[in-house]
Structure 1
Amino acid sequence: MTSPLAERLSQLGSSARTAVEDDRGRTTFAELMERALRVRGALLAGGARRGAEQGASQSSLEGERVLLLVPPGAAWVSAFLGVILAGGIALPLSPLYPPAELAWLAGDAGVRRILLGDELAAVAAPIAEGRAVLRVEDAERAAPGPESAVSDLAADDPALLLYTSGTTGKPKGALLTHRNLAVQAELLRAAWGFSEQDVLLHALPLHHLHGVAIALTTSLLAGSATRMLPRFDAQRVAAEIARRSATAVMAVPTMYQRLFEHVDRGGAPEFAAGARALRLATSGSAALPVTLAERWRDLTGTIPLERFGMTEIGVGLSNPLDPGGRRAGWVGSPLPTVEARITDDAGNASAWAPGEPAAPGGGGVVARGELWIRGPSVFKGYLGREDATAAAFQDGWFRTGDVAERSSDGCFRLLGRTSVDILKSGGYKLSALEIEEALREHGAIAEVAVIGVPDEAWGERVVAVVVPAPGREAECAIGPLRAWAKERLAPYKVPRESVVVGSLPRNAMGKVVKPELVKALVASMGGEERQLAR
């Protein structure tokens, strides 16, 4: 089967509508595809020159991994599409990675070539030795190359390599196919109502699924325009929303928090009116605190559309486009073609005792356990890690590693990752996310992460790592904090320790890196006296 991704790009290739707008100007779909085909031609010509020494020519990269180090904008998109249309696998990496991490990722992926934007030449220099480096600016001036290569692309050919966060070990490279990307884009176009009239405000990192596939690819394949910013900056994003430059925005919870902080300082006086004018605002990559959802509702009249996705599956669950059907704290129902099930520890379908609290607007909880997903948007496997790929699947289902619960009307709520968010303390299984949500109601707490620290007596001791609101540090001490929490949480859920910090460690998508917190806290034990509840 021919690549549905290539087919859709070909359909858009003659359009005079704006595809990408960046700080350098507007690029139409026709111009973007011409630039992408020239990048493809340069890559194929480069491959043919290397193969000529062996008497061979090259009409396809045949799955070669090509590293992208290009600033966000039209040039990044042309480089990305050029690699894919040449039969290669795009590996976008962050220029903020330290040299050692870039080197490890490039080595693990077997990268032989780097597509580079001029501004990032210094970033690429430490990993350039032994690899061909091609400037995007030069590639976009090359000949387009043979037309046959595009029609020869298949649906199951890998197109994109994204590395997982590696919070429990070295990152693994997830391979996404042409079909994965095309199916995902079509699912979200239909579910979220994207059309040629939309303009997506894009300030997400492009080395994560959220930025490259959920946001950019969905917008492109829907024929929408994408307003690409160099990076997320609360002042810049708030100004763009205030001047109504876009109809849709996709963000992570930390972005919403930073926007509110900027507005609270008096920035972007027209922000509220601009936010109300947005057709769609979504949140993903981490659980959206109910407090942030409700703050957005106070501002705009609706909560952001929250959904659940992973590098390996794309977006599997989503709240509805209709704001009236969204539930704060819940991630919605499976998208068409996606199947979801809740399993117990043995992998069997899980059921929950009747009488659980009802979901807002829906039925009571009927199942709780690990969330499994299957469908055509699920990835191909991990590059070079057959054992890890096999372990990730059971009977065709991908095991997400997330614990969730399902209501009787088919809506899902996440309780956290089994590795970091499901704590085992005193014989109980606790959801760190549930405890965090309760603690965020405390006016003295600006940010909080709940973790489990190894403990002989408890198995894991529940610890609240707190960023206090200015001038309210004393209220975050363990004594007053526990007294407050006991009125809102079951006794076994109340943190036994609080640690006050200036900030929480986060990855590029704004997720708190809890393993770093646990490691730092364990290392500090035996040093300064801790605030423990006896």
Structure 2
Amino acid sequence: MIEAAGRTGDLDGERVGFMVENSYDYVVTILAILAARAIAVPLSPSFPVPELQYIVDHSEALLIVSSSRFAAKTKQLLESELASKPALLVLSKHLGGGVHEKVELEDQADSGKAGLMLYTSGTTNRPKGVLLPECVMTAQAQSLNKAWEYSPEDHLLHVLPLHHIHGAINALYAPLFSGSSVEFLFPFNADAVWKRFAAPFLPRAKSSERVSSSDGSASQNEVVTFFTAVPTVYSRLLATHKELSPEMQEATREAILPAHLRLNISGSAALPTPIKQAWTDLSRGNVLLERFGMTEVGMALSCGLDMAHRVDGSVGWPLPSVEARLVDLDTGAVIEAGQEVDSTGRERSGEIQLRGPTIFAEYWRNPTATASEFAAAAENDANTTPWFKTGDVAVRRDVDGVDSVLSIRSKAASQDWTGDRSMYFILGRKSADIIKSGGEKVSALEVERELLSLPMIAEAAVVAVPSGRWGQKVGAVVVLQTKGEHAVAKWSAMDMRRTLKDRLVNYKIPQVLRVVESIPRNAMGKINKKQLVAQVFADEVRDDEASKSNAV
């Protein structure tokens, strides 16, 4: 059907945009595009038409596939001022009905130029198309399957958007690759998620009440064994749990016990310590697993399956088949093992650089941008593959107690990737989270963790505010608690400094503070910090520009 609609007998390498709800139909559509050896380009229904128009034009899509639900929007898109006019295929509803279909795969099938193209968020420039050939998708799935041990017994509850790497690969492609079952419950709704978790553990009369997924096909007798989400999802679940009935509270606590929910993962944004601890307390011992990844590389670093490996603030070790290194931001030198501390005793941070079969192929038809993001291998390196420069800064630290667990887990072949006691800790994005103030480097994520550990703080973002004197000032944007015993009506910069003086060295304590009602985030819980600075520190930015002008 897709090949016929594409007006050509050969779709090898052609781009096929598609807008289909998170459902059985979505899975069938993306696999059909890959089977046609085409490049699947997910189109988010939440995007306005101009953003969709940019993606369709930039990818030079030959065909747009739409479910009947989004037919009107795709027709509106095709009526806009597109550089080209892709063909349109509107699908009729295919009700999977929860039936497990047996599909015979060709062992020697030629995947051709098939793949997936995801678009970056475009926070600094126009979004770039990140091309993940099918071989890269397969490598990413195999890496995760080994590390996180997906299996046909797993039942994953999917609450994420599908135009990001987290939802598309971690929560869909990788579990399907291993035969796991996936149930969609999107868009995220805390009450619906709690009801779904609880369903198998309620009294029989109650468990017979069906809580449907978006395609109405979910079996409520299936225990959810795998859940991956962003920190804001866990925060919302924790906030709403106390509002559930006593019966529901007990059933949900049972559902998220380690014996039932074997793996709960948090990613796409930094996980605040209070959320991690509150989830562990509620689940009676289930520790959220943290990992690091991005659109261009899939998942790159991860903590291990053992609870002792889920060290607070750490993203663990390089995943199977992934090579990682740290490169000093000032000197460009590789920080070798054992060189993590300099001669003065100061911890050395560096940019995370990666290579391996899980790395993307290119930014779509942008060779200049692609070349600029890779660093050549060293002359004495037997492996000539270049390193991808992630733009994320981290440190490696030895963690006490992890090595004793590692000696036991090393007997399990699936966990031989966990390495030694030296684990990675993310400091933030080089462009937004490393604040250079008065000659010192401050990790915005470190300061955010301290702020979020305070009971009166509900949300926090630490940003770089321009300063003529310091270069950059550490700025804090916070949302205060408005309910419960820790609710406060106001919180001043002086209050903040008093509270943090015993937690952080002086130069890391924010110099300026703004209290707001909410901090805007995207679908993956991320904050555009440059936009936030322009919005809430506009007066500081104007004063800085004025001082520069007067200086000239």
C-alpha change, 1:234 and 1:173, in structure 2 (3 Å) is: same
- Match for 1:399 among 389, 410, 424? 389
Partner SS for 1:125: helix
Alpha-carbon contact 1:118-1:135 (below 8 Å) kept: yes
What is residue 225 of structure 2 aligned with on the other side? 247
Matched with 1:184 is: 140
Match of 1:298 among 281, 286, 303: 281
| 2:88 aligned with 1:133 | yes
The whole-number CA distance in structure 1 between the counterparts of 2:488 and 2:468 is 29
Q: TM-score normalised to the size of structure 2?
A: 0.80
Partner in structure 1 of residue 475 of structure 2 = 463
Query: Partners in 2 of 1:108 and 1:477 — Cα distance?
Result: 47
How do residues 143-154 of structure 1 correspond to structure 2 at under 5 angstroms? Answer: 151-154=109-112
CA contact (8 A) 1:158 1:175 kept: no
Q: 1:105 aligns to what?
A: 55
1:436 to 448, 452, 455: 448
Q: Which residue is equivalent to 2:296?
A: 312
**Matching residue of 1:6:** none
Q: TM-score, normalised to structure 1's length?
A: 0.83
Deviations 1:206-227 (A, max 9, x none): 0000001111011101101101
Residue 437 (structure 2) pairs with residue 425 (structure 1):
yes
- 1:367–1:407 Cα contact (<8 Å) kept: no
Mapped contact 2:12–2:114 kept (Cα < 8 A): no
Q: What's the offset of the Cα at 1:326?
A: 1.6
Tell me the residue number matched to 1:332: 316
After TM superposition, the structure 1 = structure 2 runs for residues 231-380 of structure 1, keeping only pairs within 5 Å, are 231-244=187-200, 245-266=223-244, 268-269=248-249, 270-276=251-257, 277-300=260-283, 301-345=285-329, 346-350=331-335, 351-353=339-341, 367-380=348-361
Instruction: Name the SS for the 2:308 alignment partner.
Output: helix
CA change 1:431–1:134 in 2 (3 A) is same
The question of 1:521 aligning with 2:533 is answered: no
2:173 to 217, 221, 228: 217
Find out whether 1:445 has 2:457 as its counterpart: yes
One-letter amino acid of the counterpart of residue 333, structure 1: W
- Distance, in Å, in 1 between the alignment partners of 2:440 and 2:183 is 47
Q: Is 1:62 matched up with 2:12?
A: yes
- State how far apart, in whole Å, the 2-side matches of 1:424 and 1:367 are: 15
Give the aligned residue type for 1:246: V
Q: Distance in 1 between matches of 2:19 and 2:137?
A: 21
Contact 2:160/2:186 (CA < 8 Å) preserved in 1?
A: no
CA contact (8 A) 2:466 2:541 kept: no
**Equivalent position to 1:123, from 59, 73, 76:** 73
**TM-superposed deviation, 1:138:** 7.8
Q: Confirm or deny: 8 A CA contact 1:87 1:149 kept in the other structure.
A: no
1:93 aligns with 2:43: yes
Residue 161 of structure 1 corresponds to 117
Equivalent pair of 2:466/2:540 in contact (CA under 8 Å): no
Query: In the alignment, is residue 79 of structure 1 matched against residue 38 of structure 2?
Result: no
Per mean C-alpha deviation after superposition, the further-off stretch among 112-121 and 132-141 is 132-141
Output the aligned Cα RMSD: 2.4
**Structure 1 residues 498 and 189 mapped into 2: Cα distance closer, same or farther (>3 Å)?**
same
Distance change >3 Å, CA 526–CA 90, structure 1 → 2: closer
- Aligned in 2, Cα 1:397/1:445: closer, same or farther, shift over 3 Å? same
| Aligned counterpart for 1:483 among listed residues 498, 502, 517 | 498
Give the aligned residue type for 2:499.
Answer: W
The 1:149/1:489 distance shift into structure 2, 3 A limit, reads: closer
User: Any stretches of 5+ residues in structure 2 without a counterpart?
Assistant: 80-84, 97-104, 201-222, 377-385, 399-420, 544-552
Does structure 1 retain, via aligned residues, the 8 Å contact 2:141–2:173? Answer: yes
Structure 1 residue 158 displacement after superposition: 4.4
- Counterpart Cα distance in 2 of 1:79 and 1:107: 21
Residue identity over aligned pairs, in percent, reads 41
* Secondary structure of the corresponding residue to residue 390 of structure 1: helix
- Measure how far apart 1:344 and its partner are: 1.0
- The verdict on how the C-alpha distance between 1:474 and 1:492 changes in structure 2, with shifts beyond 3 A counting, is farther
Q: Partner of 2:349: helix, strand, or coil?
A: strand
Pair 355,306 (structure 1): closer, same or farther in 2 beyond 3 Å: farther
Give the Cα–Cα distance (whole angstroms) in 2 for the partners of residues 393 and 524 of structure 1: 38
What amino acid maps onto 2:56 in structure 1?
A
Which residue identity lines up with residue 265 of structure 1 in the other structure? E
Structure 1 window deviating more from structure 2 (367-376 vs 516-525): it is 516-525
When the two structures are aligned, how many residues end up with a matched partner? 464
Q: Secondary structure at the match of 1:281?
A: strand
Conserved? CA contact 1:44–1:61, under 8 Å? yes
* Counterpart in the other structure of 2:367: 386
SS at match of 2:351: strand
The Cα offsets for residues 402-421 of structure 1, whole Å up to 9 and x where unpaired, read as 00011243310100001111
- 1:207 aligns with 163
Give the C-alpha shift of residue 265 in structure 1. Answer: 2.8
Please state if 1:46 is matched with 2:5. yes
Q: Partner of 2:523 in structure 1?
A: 508
Unaligned runs of at least 5 residues, structure 1: 1-41, 52-57, 142-146, 358-364, 529-534
Q: Per-residue displacement from partner, 1:231-261 (whole Å, max 9, x unpaired)?
A: 1111111221222541110111111001111
